[in-house]
A and B are shown apart, each in its own frame.
Chain A
């Protein structure tokens, strides 16, 4: 997977490049907006990660120019501007996700992975299945090993979010955004409590649990640890 990182912070950029390479991505780095736009237009990338405030050309302007040229490469915006409007503006400009600085590297990785998978295409399915866990999306019914699992509407939404991203690390912020549409971090360990309830319902009494905690990142639903 080929990622373009447009970031003018000369101190942070090398760490990001190194981290991404170690995670298995091939990374190009542009240190200003003009270079970033040039590379994004010329090269074939699977994903672009761009800072918002850049010398020469602003990050959002880059996205708008790319979209105007018909280049649909997914873009993840990194920004030191965390106001409620900034996010909306970033997504309106054509960004696919928005991450406010400072962020944990694990958060960045999880979001990059999510964007790349999303690009691979989310098939219009009516049934999700991970091992013996089955989710009938139309009837909103969940069974584990044929046994029906009782879940609240919100727990169903949470499970659907995890199952659609089976095998991917999903962070707490991603869950807050995706399941509750909240774009700020509450102080409480909200997500952990909800996951633990879901876990109780899904994994209790089985010898191979499906919901796993990824230390320092979040959660993953997958068939085997």
Chain B
């Protein structure tokens, strides 16, 4: 199983974190920008208001000539930088000031109207934005006081530029950090996943690597490794138990066989009737041995012991070989055994066990399907599995009995069916499970369909 970086919790978390950083930085820098901008404007407005007030007072004291002189004085001498003054009559004709003509269409409606003044500066033409206020003097003349706000504008522009870059860069930094973080995290979790997969695939000696950082991942890896050690130990104990059980059951059978073989080989030969009895007893020993072997194999497979020797097996080829092997026997029983396979249906598994599985399924059909019947074995490649199907038109298994038919040992001793039934299918189920496959019994209407999906592997 491959880890998709974009589909990890770490990635989703860091994407959320990046978004949060972006929002926080935007709010902070954005409000600082808005605040600064309004502070600059407020300051300009205050100056304009103060000047207006003092000029209005001057008008009250010394009339229009006084205000005009005052304005000229302020323009010529110590006036503040960027100050703009104008006195105009009721028809907006200039009376005094440093603006050549009335900048608005009539009387501006806003409280703080803005306009632009084109000036000739050394070498270039420049346009200066001006913020202003207008008062109507007693007598109908108009007084305009303004301030060149190009410096403030430039500052605001720079501030905005810096704000946008700030938001962009910190988002980028957060995204990079998040990506790196989720990459690191996904890689370490991926290592754990891959190692577990390898162990499940049979490399039971494999352990999770420790980064040596003594962090929570190392702690996790160490815990997992302890669990794996325990499992391997248990598998070893299990294996030893199986080995000694197998040995203890087979050794007496061997002694029995050897003695009977010796009887058959001795000279002078046994009487024909006795010879026949010994031979029939030997056949029973063989049957016992086969049952024992099957039981041991089921038990071993059911115990969850990992699949030992595992390789890529072409199930299509194996099926064709076994069908060919069984075909003459089927023909003798009056059964048609056919096989339909797709080439190169590779599964990861043990060839002997898979052959045993197919053998049991085919032999099951041979045992139950009456003469004239038909058995079909098919192998198909699906997207992520190889599908094996063995179907016949024999008596089948009643729907209510199907689950029971797969369980080991349950059919033991139940009458009415040919001997050994149930055990064969139990072994099939065990081998399927061992290969991490899925087994299903269905009706072939009439007959039995055994459907097996094995995960594919090349």
Q: Which of B264, B325, B352 has a CB less than 8 Å from the CB of A216?
A: B264
Q: Are A186 and B359 in contact (CB under 8 A)?
A: yes
Closest to A187 in B: B363
Q: Confirm or deny: A189 has a beta carbon within 8 angstroms of a beta carbon on chain B.
A: yes
Q: Are A187 and B261 in contact (CB under 8 A)?
A: no
Interface string of B232-251 (1 = CB under 8 A from A): 00000000001100110111
- Of the candidate stretches A16-24, A59-67, A69-77, A160-168, the one touching chain B is A16-24
List of A residues within 8 angstroms of B258 by Cβ: 12, 15-16, 19, 102, 105
Asked whether any CB of chain B lies closer than 8 Å to the CB of A185, the reply is yes
Q: Which of B242, B254, B300 contacts A12 (CB 8 A)?
A: B254
**B259 and A15: CB pair below 8 A?**
yes
Within 8 A of B (CB), among A68-111: 80-85, 88, 100-106
Bound-state Cα–Cα, A181 to B264, Å: 30
Q: Does B72 contact A (CB under 8 A)?
A: no
CA distance A19 to B73 in the complex (A): 140
Cβ < 8 Å to B, chain A residues 19-56: 19, 22, 53
A216: B residues at CB distance < 8 A:
264, 279
- Across the interface, which residues of B come within 8 angstroms of A18, CB to CB? 262
Partner of A183, one of B257, B264, B282, B352: B352
Number of interface residues of B (CB under 8 A): 46
Are A81 and B262 in contact, CB atoms less than 8 angstroms apart? no
A190 touches B325 (CB 8 A): yes
Q: Give the contact stretch, choosing among B76-84, B289-297, B372-380.
A: B289-297
Say if the beta carbon of B350 comes within 8 Å of chain A.
Answer: yes
Q: Chain B at the A interface: mostly helix, strand, loop or mixed?
A: helix
A141 within 8 A of B: no
Given known A19-B265, A102-B285, A103-B257, contact A187–B290 (CB-CB < 8 A): yes
Residue from the list A19, A82, A88, A182 in contact with B309, Cβ < 8 A: A88
Closest chain B residue to A13, Cβ basis = B258
**Which residues in B have their C-beta under 8 angstroms from that of A193?**
328-329, 332
B44 at the A/B interface (Cβ < 8 Å)?
no
Residue B321 CB within 8 A of the other chain:
yes
| Shortest Cβ distance from residue B258 to the other chain A in the assembled complex, whole angstroms | 4
A-B contact list, 7 entries, CB within 8 Å: A12-B251, A53-B243, A88-B309, A180-B325, A183-B352, A184-B359, A188-B329
Please report B residues at the A interface, Cβ cutoff 8 Å: 242-243, 246-247, 249-251, 253-259, 261-262, 264-265, 279, 282, 285, 289-290, 293, 296-297, 300, 308-309, 321, 324-326, 328-329, 332, 350-353, 355-356, 359, 363, 366, 420
